[in-house]
Amino acid sequence: MNATPAKNVDSAEIIGHFINNADVADDNRPQPVSNPATGQVTKHVAMASQQTVEDAIAAAEAAFPGWRNTPPAKRARIMFRFKQLLEEHADEIAAAITDEHGKVVDDAMGEFGRGVEVVDYACGIPELLKGEYSKNVGPGIDSWSDFQPLGVVAGITPFNFPAMVPMWMYPMAIACGNTFVLKPSEKDPTAPMLAARLLKEAGLPDGVFNLVNGDKEAVDTLLNDDRVQAISFVGSTPIAEYIYSTGTKNGKRVQALGGAKNHAIVMPDADIDNAVNALIGAAFGSCGERCMAISVAVCIGDEVADSVVSKLQAEIAGLKVGSGTDVSNHMGPLITDAHFEKVRNYVDLGVEEGADLVVDGRGLVVEGLEDGYFLGPCLFDNVTEDMRIYQEEIFGPVLCVVRAESEEQAMQLINDHEYGNGTCIFTRDGEAARYFADNIQVGMVGINVPLPVPVSYHSFGGWKRSLFGDLFAYGPDSVRFYTRRKTITQRWPSGGVREKAQFAFPGRQ
């Protein structure tokens, strides 16, 4: 490889790359990494050059023949060991998430745990890769199918879940027999790097998993290299569409998960207190930087809306915002100063558009952390569907209340929206819940569950412009995405019988 091993990445306060089970330095355009609670730069991360990305792809390509022929049971044993090591280093990885993303440490541990669940699922790969077998489909003819890996595959992941979202991808990909190149977010790179080193410690062979930090140059290299067979992506819809169109144009299999505008319907018969508590956590947890965050509450009738808004105001008043390292805090900062300005500008826009700003978090100052990227919870009432704060993904602690006259009207709002990631309904009425679940045009639905994120043995994904591609992330769909089905039909003539040529298309006999 052309890139040289880093002498000591940590002591130099620069994060490089991980290729062929070794730290690799590449001092190409280093970018600062800040602690969002303090606003202070804590380290730098190198942006991989095209050559470094190509080196990672080459390492993965060289490792593929040996890895694809490794028995699935042996791959599973490595996954078991990796899972054990992750759990042993949980505090370290969660602390890295909090330091670089800003989310409260309990939330970081929750993210980490959901990622480990996918590793747990990958440990069952011998069962998941079992094919189908049919004996005597014809005279002396047997037929079966198996699932074969694609080759070199890649993942491009966002800043909001630096541990979990990469683990949605690479554990299943490599368990299926592929080799992997990960391009994580450059905003919080430490957690995925720690996991990469644990994979090595778990016994994963050189080149099976590689990590390159970078920006668009690295992304475009992965998209345009013929050796990369498939791309998994999670991020904003404009970038997801770019990834999908470019990757598929280049003949790659692509799953690209995009943005969201998740609605919660509050019915008149709902337990309002429980619904409000659920909305508080779903809207403001992780400072709203979740693709499954509830950002719109659709209240059926003015009486319900007035009650919900009043109770939300009271609950928001009790929320504590500050450093994620303080376990008594409910919210930490936004990820960067630029993202802070973007979200605050959306709040300004909502006021200009005529929505009622019931709770204004723009003036929040956290004592001792005045340079941090803190924005308090914001609550808008009387939001209408023509407003940009309703139409666009804000990705911050902003909850919009929309008033509707009926469940049908509320559902029409959701079905008309360009995004279809997640949604939920709060009700005691089984008939209303069933109608909602059957007819809403959204990929993940909750009934009195505000964040209906599927567990690891189901699959995660939205509809409409929240997903580009046919298959969801992790769960059963991940086996389908990271493998190709091959069907084999065989016959062994016996008895020395000379067979005649057959010109008719073969059928059942």
SS3 label, residue 42 = strand
Q: Distance between CA 158 and CA 455 in Å, rounded? A: 20
> Cβ atoms within 10 A of the Cβ of 505, count?
5
- Whether the CB-CB separation of 459 and 476 falls below 8 Å is answered with yes
Q: Distance between CA 276 and CA 390 in Å, rounded? A: 20
Q: Distance between CA 31 and CA 199 in Å, rounded? A: 26
Q: Distance between CA 457 and CA 455 in Å, rounded? A: 6
Catalytic annotation, pick one of 291, 378, 400, 424 = 291
b/e burial code for range 329-342 (CB count within 10 A of at least 16 → b): bbbbbbbbeebbee
Q: CA–CA distance from 475 to each of 75, 122, 456 (Å)?
A: 17, 9, 5
Q: Distance between CA 357 and CA 348 in Å, rounded? A: 10
For the chain, give the number of residues. 509
In this structure, is the dihedral angle defined by the CA atoms of residues 171, 47, 101 and 239, taken in order, positive or negative?
negative
Q: Distance between CA 202 and CA 119 in Å, rounded? A: 13
| Region of residue 246 (phi > 0: left; psi between -120 and 50: alpha; otherwise: beta) | alpha
Q: Distance between CA 44 and CA 475 in Å, rounded? A: 34
Bridge partners of 400?
296, 380
> Cβ atoms within 10 A of the Cβ of 36, count?
30
Nearest to 154 by CA among 125, 119, 179: 179
User: CA-based diameter of the chain, in Å?
Assistant: 91
Task: Give the pair of three-digit tokens for residue 433.
Answer: 């819940």
Q: Which residues contact 478 (CB under 8 A, 6 or more apart)?
A: 168, 169, 172, 173, 176, 459, 471
SS3 label, residue 161 = coil
Q: Distance between CA 231 and CA 10 in Å, rounded? A: 30
| Strand pairing class (22-25; 4-5) | antiparallel
Q: Which residues contact 323 (CB under 8 A, 6 or more apart)?
A: 37, 329, 332, 366, 369, 372
Q: Which residue has the tokens 């977010």?
A: 185
Q: Distance between CA 386 and CA 409 in Å, rounded? A: 15
Can 123 be counted among the known catalytic residues? no
Annotated catalytic residues are 291
